[in-house]
């Protein structure tokens, strides 16, 4: 497999289980979001991927974030684009290896993982049917010049109102962009920082359940 990963097999057996891929944030690893896995619906095959760039101390990144002379941060967009392709290939490998339901692929990303989930879904139409974007935003630099009008993907988006890492203002633009593309989305905010509140978890869990 092209990325390291850990897996939770479905608790209820099915020939073609629905698939949920988890993409962690910058400086984290595949164990991070996997802590959710036990609480998520039994029928899901859950695969948590490890980002390709090692940062030391058990941390990984999907792409580098650098600081310029004014201490403004900027993203390595070439690495980000490469990671979108790597995630895409990985999804195909997982679908084939585990014989998952091709019509029920969920992609859940946190922070950097959410940014790439948006990018993947808008560059590669219907590779995934459902995106859960937690504490991320749509990076316009990672979008194609022409976004296909064949996309049917829907989106669950949430953000902390006091997020110090990625300002909530950035996240609020996502529903507007998706609406302009006629893409269904549900947006919510929680009074937390850069993280996932318990009520946020129950909210996206129920969103997933409704789509199984």
Mean pLDDT of 94-123: 98
Domain ranges of the chain: 5-210
**pLDDT the model gives residue 107:** 98
Across the chain, mean pLDDT equals 96
**What is the value of pTM for the model shown?**
0.96
**pLDDT the model gives residue 74:** 82
Quick: pLDDT tens for 45-70.
999 999 999 999 999 999 998 877 66
**pLDDT the model gives residue 209:** 98
Beta strands in 41-136 (DSSP E): 45-49, 53-56, 59-61, 65-67, 73-75, 105-110, 130-134
Quick: pLDDT tens for 137-166.
999 999 999 999 999 999 999 999 999 999
CATH of domain 5-210: 3.40.50.1820
């Amino acid at each position: 497999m092209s990325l390291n990963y850990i897996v939770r097999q479905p608790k209820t057996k099915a020939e073609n289980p629905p698939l949920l891929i988890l993409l962690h944030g910058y400086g984290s690893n595949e164990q991070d979001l996997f802590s959710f896995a036990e609480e998520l619906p039994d029928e899901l095959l859950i695969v948590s991927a490890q980002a390709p760039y090692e940062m030391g101390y058990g941390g990984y990144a999907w792409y580098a974030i650098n600081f310029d002379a004014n201490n403004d941060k900027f993203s390595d967009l070439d690495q980000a684009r490469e990671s979108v392709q790597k995630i895409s290939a990985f999804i195909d490998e997982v679908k084939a290896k585990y014989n998952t339901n091709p019509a029920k692929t969920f992609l859940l990303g946190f922070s950097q993982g959410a940014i790439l989930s948006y990018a993947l879904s808008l560059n590669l139409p219907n590779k995934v049917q459902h995106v859960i974007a937690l504490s991320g935003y749509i990076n316009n630099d990672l979008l194609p010049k022409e976004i296909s009008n064949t996309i049917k993907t829907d989106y669950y988006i949430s953000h902390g109102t006091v997020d110090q890492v990625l300002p909530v203002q950035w996240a609020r633009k996502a529903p507007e962009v998706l609406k302009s593309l006629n893409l269904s989305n549900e947006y919510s905010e929680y009074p937390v920082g850069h993280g996932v509140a318990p009520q946020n978890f129950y909210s996206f869990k129920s969103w997933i359940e409704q789509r199984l």
